[in-house]
Structures are given as C-alpha cells and as structure tokens.
C-alpha cells in the first residue's frame, strides 16, 4: 500500500465538513509500537500509517467515545466518524450495524486490505533490538524490518500473528473507500489451539482452564478492548443483584470469563484483541474460536459478513433439524 496515497486520502476525509474525525493508526512513541490516532483535520492525518504492526481493532472506538448525556448547553455532534479497517475490523463494524449498535449513515469505512499482521510478542522475542526505533513493512513473501536504514527480511511464517494464520477474510467485507487492491486470501491453518483443548478429556479441560482462569486479575481489559462488548449496562458491573462478585478467585474468574464467552457466541469476529491485551496471557482466543466454530458448523452462521443479516441469537429457522440437541 502506498503511504502517500493513504495519507492523501486520510487528509481529504478528515478535512470534510461532514466528518467529525478520522480514526486510524500512527507511529507510536516507543520502539516499533503503533498507536491508534484521531485526526480532526487534514494536518492531523498527515502521519497516519498502515503497516504489519497495525494490529489494534479500531472498531471498538465507535461505541466508546462521546457517551451521553452531554454537558448542559451542548448539542450532539451528528457528523460522521471515519474509520480505517482491516478485514477482521470490518467484520466488527458489520456486526455492530447488524445489532444497531451503530448506523450506516454515521460512519465512513476506509478499507485496508491486509496481507497479515506481525505478532508483537514474537517480534520482541526474536528481534529484541526492535525495542529501539524500528519500522516494519510487507515484502512479497514476508516482512521487512527497517532499522537505522538497514533492512532485514523475515519469512512470513516466522512472525505472522496467530489470528492472521487462521484468517478467512483478509479483505474488508464492507467499505466506502478501498486504499488498495484486494489481497489474495490464503488457506487458513488448522486451529491447533482449539484442537488441543478438544483432545483433552473433560477432566483435563477443567484442569487446564482452572490453571488459566486462576491467573485472571479481573482487569477487564478483554471486555474493554472488545468491539462487541459495548453494553452500557454490563451484567458484570451490576451490584443489585450481584451476578458476579468482585472477588479475584477461580470461581468468580470462571463465571466472568464464561459469561463473556457465551455473550460473544455468534457475535465474535475473531480479531484476537482480547488475548492480545490480556496481561495474564490467558488464551481467551481458544474459547471464542471454539464457540465461533460450533456456531459455524452447526448453524452455518458467521457473524460480521452481511450488514442486513439477522443477529444470530435472534434468528430462527423452521427447518432446523436440531439433531445435535440432547
């Protein structure tokens, strides 16, 4: 993707009178990090980028900003929000449209065909020198690390993020503007994480999750980063009655994580943000991908592909054989 074209397009959109701001990515303040960015004018979009480090799903900001009610005397700003999206991000936007969490006339979607993102943890482990100033870009068959003017080519499979290895939709499924030609979709690898859990006996699964959930510190980072966790009245925050206590122990941690996973059944678009931000390194993606696969295999439903679709849990098929129900 041409950086000049990206910034020119971003500047044009951010400068529009009917656009409140544009949400994209820019170089972070430390090492190779990339940070989400808001631009309210053309100048603010002058340093926007799209690189193998733009992992963050920006769709989460569509429902997190400008909470009502407004301060007294202020009128709501009803201009559009423009958003840069990868394939998985666009599925989150589409699912929000399905659920009426946002409305189509409120957003401008800028599509960024995605050749695959780098796993930041793998990058840091294999190339610790990139903690200093470094950039990454795509090559024909992999990634290129640029540091102090020197380029280091890295095979794609060496650093490719797990969510991208499993990705089936690298191109945005909905967009108003596309910044580049669609990339060629690759054959997803087998989901070894879900397979590992499925191959365990019931007792082994329980022991596995007891170990993982015991590490949870209940910081709610997974919920806060998830673009589909946008309920203003979250059941996990209620205190009258208390559905999930604030105690940080295996029982309450399990209740929290299982409740969140089932809340995302038929809704999760497998962007992997929950697992990326978890400070305890809990493999939350395994739970969400397992439920996503069950919904896909048993109901033939994938969320975030059709903005005119019915929500999975609100749909009904008279000819559903229900032969999997015990």
pLDDT digits (tens, 9 = 90+) for 160-185: 999 999 999 999 999 999 999 999 99
- Please report whether residue 146 resides in a domain: no
**pLDDT score at 25:** 97
Q: For residue 9, tell me if it sits in a domain.
A: yes
Q: Is residue 223 part of a domain?
A: yes
Inform me whether the pLDDT recorded for 326 exceeds 60: no
Burial of 310 (0-12, 13-18, 19+ CB in 10 A): exposed
**Mean pLDDT in the chain?**
90
Q: What's residue 131's pLDDT? A: 63
Q: Pick the residue with more confidence: 124 or 69? A: 124
Q: What is the pLDDT of residue 116?
A: 96
Spatial separation of the C-alpha atoms in residues 180 and 182, rounded to whole Å: 6
Q: What is the pLDDT of residue 207?
A: 93
pLDDT at 324: 64
Percent of the chain with pLDDT over 70: 96
The average pLDDT across 96-102 equals 95
The vertex-76 CA angle with 74 and 81, nearest 5°, equals 140
Q: What is the pLDDT of residues 199-237, one digit of tens each?
A: 999 999 999 999 999 999 999 999 999 999 998 878 777
Residue with the larger pLDDT of the pair 134 and 48: 48
Q: Considering the domain boundaries, does residue 60 fall inside one?
A: yes
Structural domain includes residue 155: no
Window from 68-72, 156-160, 162-166, 263-267 with minimum mean pLDDT: 68-72
pTM: 0.91
Domain assignment of residue 191, given as a range = 3-117+161-314
Report whether pLDDT(156) > 60: yes
- Which pLDDT belongs to residue 294? 93
- Give the pLDDT of residue 248: 82
Does any domain span residue 156? Answer: no
What's the structural domain count of the chain? 1
Report the percentage of the chain scoring pLDDT > 90: 70
Q: Is residue 127 part of a domain?
A: no
Both tokens assigned to 322: 């229900």
pLDDT band, residue 10 (cuts 50/70/90): very high
Residue 283 resides in a domain: yes
């Amino acid at each position: 993707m041409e950086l000049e074209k990206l910034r020119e397009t971003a500047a044009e959109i951010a400068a529009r009178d009917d656009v409140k701001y544009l949400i994209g990515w820019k170089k972070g303040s430390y090492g190779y990090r990339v940070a989400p960015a808001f631009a309210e004018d053309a100048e603010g979009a002058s340093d926007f980028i799209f690189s193998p480090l733009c992992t963050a799903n920006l769709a989460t900001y569509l429902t997190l900003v400008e909470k009502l009610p407004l301060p007294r005397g202020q009128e709501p700003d009803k201009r559009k929000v423009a958003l840069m999206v990868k394939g998985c991000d666009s599925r989150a936007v589409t699912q929000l449209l399905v659920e009426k969490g946002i409305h189509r006339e409120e957003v401008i979607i800028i599509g960024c065909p995605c050749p695959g993102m780098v796993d930041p943890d793998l990058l840091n482990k294999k190339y610790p020198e990139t903690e200093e100033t470094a950039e990454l870009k795509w090559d024909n068959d992999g990634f290129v690390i640029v540091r102090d003017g020197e380029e280091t080519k890295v095979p794609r499979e060496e650093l490719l993020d797990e969510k991208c290895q499993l990705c089936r939709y690298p191109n945005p499924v909905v967009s108003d503007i596309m910044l580049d030609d669609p990339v060629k979709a690759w054959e997803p690898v087998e989901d070894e994480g879900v397979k590992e859990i499925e191959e365990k006996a019931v007792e082994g699964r329980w022991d596995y999750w007891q170990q993982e959930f015991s590490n949870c510190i209940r910081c709610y980072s997974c919920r806060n980063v998830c673009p589909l966790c946008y309920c203003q009245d979250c059941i996990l925050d209620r205190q009258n009655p208390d559905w999930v206590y604030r105690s940080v122990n295996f029982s309450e941690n399990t209740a929290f994580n299982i409740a969140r996973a089932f809340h995302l059944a038929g809704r999760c678009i497998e962007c992997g943000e929950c697992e990326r931000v978890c400070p305890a390194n809990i493999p939350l993606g395994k739970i969400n991908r397992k439920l996503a696969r069950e919904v896909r295999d048993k109901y033939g439903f994938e969320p975030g592909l059709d903005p005119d679709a019915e929500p999975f849990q609100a749909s009904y098929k008279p000819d559903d054989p229900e032969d999997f129900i015990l």
